[in-house]
Amino acid sequence: MTGEHLTKSGRGRSTHALREKCILAGLALKGKRDELSQAEAQEQVEQSLAELAELAGSAGAEVAGAYLQVRERPNPATLIGRGKVDEIRLAVEECGADFVLFGHELSGTQLRNLEKQLDCRVLDRTQLILDIFAGHARSREGRLQVELAQLQYLLPRLTGRGTEMSRLGGGIGTRGPGETQLETDRRRIGRRIAKLEEELENVRAHRGRQRSKRDAVPLSTVALVGYTNAGKSTLFNALTEGNVLTDARMFATLDPTIRALDLPSRRRVLLSDTVGFISQLPVGLVRAFRATLEEVTEADMCLHVVDASSENRSEYIREVNKVLKDLDALDTPQILVLNKTDRIPSSEAGLIHAGETNAGAHLATVELSALKRTGLAALVDAIDRHLPGDELSTVSYLFRHDEGDKLSFLYSHGRIIERADREDGSKVTAEAPASVHSRLVSHAVR
């Protein structure tokens, strides 16, 4: 068998008593004539394993080793070959690993066979992501979404697992739906899934009502999107003076947060911070989090935040655009935000800007550091300049002296150019969005 032992570091146990040890396992498929070469396929999987190690760290695990195998096709019984399974089993025994984490989604049969042959817990990438989500869900909606995604993942894997599917004993990969009995039959889990979908549909309807109320007010919505750990929450806090959790761990922000942002034109927009995306985001997870991700699909503009200091930034841009395409939101106007520029040597900044500007169709590209709070003014100006719809124009109005509420509304949502107080009222000339003018059209004068 062709294979490589990538790393074998971290033999010592963590000083944290609850930190579990894991071993990573990945599979690279040999490319055919017109596809990726073996070296390219292996490089991609190595990058995937590096990301998997970061995910494991976010879940609280210590990576004790990583193994990669290159094959022409997956082994239907164990994904990787028998020899590599034996090699990993010896590594598990040697370092006392608590579980083995695979970078590919495993079938129920593969999970059962691998756990039997490795004599330890086996998780795949999807299970790990769900576990991280389970630990980060704070709102009722977030918990419902996580439970739904977990059950949808578990349902097709019940066959042959029996009571082994009940993983409520503690440890990474075991934070499950709680009271739901995973060892019960498909019908009971199916009923629970139906109930969760009904509850989430109610959440979606409630969000729709909230959105309708927001639509009654002349406010556009701008959604922050980007690869996980790109610095979206830090940028959100910098723009809105908010206090959204910022953490180096992946998926630290799960539940969406919405805050108002005032633009130089005096227009106010609603800024939404959502969950970070990741390559090969499980389709079931996208479906389960539809209610949350609707903030993206309904947005008037997206701020596509990219970690400019990452060597994989171009790939991350493509992965985010893939998810946006799945959400039917790829056509939403985008501003590309190159974040963390404080980590880039000034000699390389221009090259990065030029390269990423050509990576997709963006209204503008803005370089900034959310942490250092540099470049924020340029971003706000770009939002103001490129915000679709609700165009700015200048109109004159005449308000009677008893119509102070309308005059106050214009002051709050427009930029006053000239005002003249007369006996018959106040004549005011103001620059404001079309949505504001539409509410004052009966007071317009020439």
* Inter-residue contact 71 to 30 (CB < 8 Å): yes
For residue 36, give the nearest of 72, 7, 6, 69 by alpha carbon: 72
For residue 434, is it within any domain? yes
Q: What is the pLDDT of residue 15?
A: 39
The reply to whether 415 and 311 lie within a common domain is no
Residue position matching structure tokens 């799960």: 254
The reply to whether 331 and 411 lie within a common domain is no
The reply to whether 239 and 380 lie within a common domain is yes
Q: Give the C-alpha separation, 436 to 409, whole Å.
A: 9
DSSP H or E run through 65 = strand 61-71
Per the structure, the count of domains in the chain is 4
CATH number at residue 305: 3.40.50.300
The reply to whether 157 and 244 lie within a common domain is no
Specify the amino acid at residue 233. Answer: S
The reply to whether 370 and 235 lie within a common domain is yes
* Mean pLDDT in order along the chain per 10 residues (446 residues): 41 51 89 56 73 86 91 92 95 94 91 93 89 76 81 74 47 55 66 88 77 64 88 90 56 67 85 78 65 75 92 86 84 92 74 52 87 94 86 90 92 89 93 86 89
Q: What is the pLDDT of residue 94?
A: 94
* Token pair belonging to 161: 């697992």
Domain with 399, as residue range(s), is 392-445
Q: Give the C-alpha separation, 59 to 22, whole Å.
A: 11
The reply to whether 126 and 161 lie within a common domain is no
DSSP of 196-237: HHHHHHHHHHHHHHHHHHHHTSS-EEEEEEEBTTSSHHHHHH
The reply to whether 382 and 396 lie within a common domain is no
Residue where one domain finishes, among candidates 79, 106, 130: 130
Residue where one domain finishes, among candidates 102, 130, 158: 130
In this structure, the number of other CB atoms found within 10 A of the CB of residue 172 comes to 22
For residue 380, give the nearest of 225, 260, 254, 256 by alpha carbon: 260
Q: What is the pLDDT of residue 176?
A: 55
Specify the amino acid at residue 354. Answer: A
According to DSSP, the residues that pair with 260 across neighbouring strands are: 270
Q: What is the pLDDT of residue 83?
A: 94
* Inter-residue contact 391 to 356 (CB < 8 Å): no
According to DSSP, the residues that pair with 271 across neighbouring strands are: 222, 259
For residue 115, is it within any domain? yes
For residue 213, is it within any domain? no
* Inter-residue contact 393 to 434 (CB < 8 Å): yes
Residue where one domain finishes, among candidates 363, 386, 409: 386
The reply to whether 70 and 144 lie within a common domain is no
For residue 45, is it within any domain? yes
The reply to whether 288 and 266 lie within a common domain is yes
For residue 211, is it within any domain? no
Sign of CA dihedral 180, 182, 187, 190: positive
The reply to whether 231 and 377 lie within a common domain is yes
For residue 20, is it within any domain? yes
The reply to whether 270 and 376 lie within a common domain is yes
For residue 205, is it within any domain? no
Cα–Cα distances in Å, from 114 out to 118, 130, 184, 371, 434?
6, 20, 23, 44, 62
Q: Give the C-alpha separation, 382 to 301, whole Å.
A: 11
Q: What is the pLDDT of residue 2?
A: 40
The reply to whether 108 and 71 lie within a common domain is yes
For residue 340, is it within any domain? yes
Q: What is the pLDDT of residue 170?
A: 55
CATH number at residue 50: 3.40.50.11060
According to DSSP, the residues that pair with 433 across neighbouring strands are: 392
Q: What is the pLDDT of residue 398?
A: 94
CATH number at residue 432: 3.30.70
Who contacts 223 (Cβ-Cβ below 8 Å, separation ≥6)? 271, 272, 274, 295, 296, 299, 301, 302, 303, 332
